[in-house]
Amino acid sequence: MAFDFKKEYRDLYVPRATPTLIEVPAMSFFAVAGAGNPNSENGSYAEAVGLLYGLSFAVKMAKMGAWQPQGYFDYVVPPLEGLWFGEGTFDGRRIVDKDAFQWVSLIRQPDFVTPEVFSWALEQVAKKKPELNASRAQFVRFAEGTCAQVMHRGPYDDEPATVAALDEFVQDAGYVQDISEPPSTEALMDALDVQGSIPTLRLHHEIYLGDPRRTKPENLKTVVRHPVRQA
């Protein structure tokens, strides 16, 4: 049976509807940074998501080819994730001009995926899907450390109420939000790729457990995660 990160790490991917604290360990990701409205058809965000899934499935389907990465095991591709910010800090408590959004889209990778495996995946995507700009993608590894998280159910635009409840929990627990003001887009990946340590860059984080193209808005499930520190 294929390894399913969501089932094996339920504390990371299936939080309760009431906020909790969690220690988020080091993980590896394929990542694409960009800017603009995520709802724009054929926009930068849609292209980034297509590229991330193309790379992720290239690695997963290595089992069908003549070569597999060392330590390969069959697995379910983990869900899409996103780090979000705008001009300055962004904590999700208010709806902003979506055209002004900046983001890093991510898909977690198994630990057998190394920079060398990433380079191989880039070559596969460049051959099979030349319409994708593979140069946008990077391989990063970082931890998030102490965070507060909660499951949001419903449309993305309803998240501010969920985030407000998360903020109240954080304060009551004796912590404060630790969301930082991001560097320039060009420096984002260097700020995140800290070889498994906790970066100084800590952002509003969402994990998408439903496909908005196939799921009614009221049925969407989104993990909302905020980095925190003790007050």
Q: What is the pLDDT of residues 109-147, one digit of tens each?
A: 999 999 999 999 999 999 999 999 999 999 999 999 999
CB 90 within 8 A of CB 202: no
How many residues make up the chain in this entry? 231
CA–CA dist 231, 227 (Å, integer): 13
* pLDDT at residue number 28: 98
> How many CB atoms neighbour CB 68 within 10 A?
15
Tokens 């994990």, residue located: 207
Boundaries of every domain in the chain: 3-230
Summarised one tens digit per residue, pLDDT across range 62-111 is 999 989 999 999 999 999 999 998 766 787 887 778 888 899 999 999 99
- 3-state DSSP of 144-175: CEEEEEEEEECCHHHHHHHHHHHHHHHHHCCE
94 or 8, which is more confident?
A: 8
CA–CA dist 107, 48 (Å, integer): 11
DSSP 108: E
CATH topology assigned to domain 3-230: Multidrug-efflux Transporter 1 Regulator Bmrr; Chain A (3.20.80)
pLDDT over 90 percentage in the chain? 82
Task: Enumerate the β-bridge partners of residue 145.
Answer: 24
Strands 75-76 and 3-4: parallel
Total-model pTM: 0.95
Q: Distances in Å between the alpha carbon of 191 and those of 67, 184, 196, 226?
A: 32, 10, 12, 17
Summarised one tens digit per residue, pLDDT across range 140-182 is 999 999 999 999 999 999 999 999 999 999 999 999 999 998 8
